[in-house]
Structures are given as C-alpha cells and as structure tokens.
Amino acid sequence: MSSLDIDLAIQRISLQIMEKNHEGDEMAIVGIHTCGVYVAQRIHAYIEQQTAQSVSLGSLDINLYRDDWSLMSQNPVVKTTDIPFDVDNTNLVLVDDVIFTGRTIRAAMDAIMDYGRPTTIQLAALVDRGGRELPIQPGFTGLHATILQNERITVRMDADGPGCEVVIEN
C-alpha cells in the first residue's frame, strides 16, 4: 500500500465508523501501541474534521496483558497507556495496524476492561492478513492481504508525517 492507498483506506474506515456510531452516541477511539496509535490518530482527525464534534482519543499498551510476553522478552518494553476519558458506556473503537492471530486484540480487550465497561468494543484494522487463532474479526478494515505464513506485514508510519507505507517482508 502506498501513502495514497493508506489515506484512502483510513478515510473509508473513518466513514464506516461514523456510519455505525450515529450522532449522540458516546464514541471513543483507542490506538494500540505502536503503529495502531498512529492509525487511530489519523482516523480521529478525519472523523473530527468531518463531524465538527469532539471525539475522545486514547492509546493503549498491551504488553503486560499478552499471553506470550514472557516468550518475547524477559524485560518487555512497556509504553504509556493514555486513556483520558471514562470508558464506561462508550462505543469504543480499538485500532491496530495489522490483525493476524487475534491475540493482540484479546490482550487489548483485557486491558480496556481494567478501565471500565464500554457499551461496545469495535475493531478497526488497517490490514487484515487472516490466520486467526482466536475468533476475533475487525468490523472495519482497509485491506485484506493473503501472504505466506513466514512473511510479515509491516506498516511504516509516524504520527505527523504524511509518508507511510505497508510492506510485505520475509
């Protein structure tokens, strides 16, 4: 995906989120560290621009909630969780860059429940590469990709730069 493809996918995802979450519904967007935060920021900016309404935005670190963190490292790198709003009774949209097995999303849902009980948890992913190990499906997706098991999808994006890309690596 080129930078333009990503921008179009983010616009499409944002429009679908707005369609599902009508005016008056309390909505919040939470990006999962690291690249999911950048995707969430872009979705958030687009929705606020289109609706002229304030939408809550947060970021979530799930490292200590993962069921495989001890396999990844004895000293996991913990990032900042910033949820500056009440999670209770919100339609919460979790955002990640790539969904694969579903384990990251399961960990994110566990982490969110420590902050409260949202009305709904919806999932947006820039890229869905398939291969689920858990029964988790995104409601909003920019691209469905079919790649080999040993290949990896990497999203290269930063918070404020217009350049970004999605690449498949061996």
For the chain, which residues make up each domain, given as ranges?
3-169
Query: Across the strands, what pairs with 122?
Result: 93
* Structure confidence at residue 170 (pLDDT): 64
pLDDT tens digits for range 64-115: 886 655 545 555 556 789 999 999 999 999 999 999 999 999 999 999 999 9
Which candidate, 51, 58, 59, 42, places its Cα nearest to that of 18?
A: 51
* Structure confidence at residue 76 (pLDDT): 57
- In percent, the amount of the chain with pLDDT more than 70 equals 84
Burial of 125 (0-12, 13-18, 19+ CB in 10 A): buried
Mean pLDDT taken over the chain:
87
Q: Is the pLDDT of residue 11 over 80?
A: yes
Q: What CATH architecture applies to the domain 3-169? A: 3-Layer(aba) Sandwich (3.40)
Is the Cβ–Cβ distance between 131 and 147 less than 8 Å?
A: no
Half-sphere exposure of 113 (CA within 13 A, CB side): 7
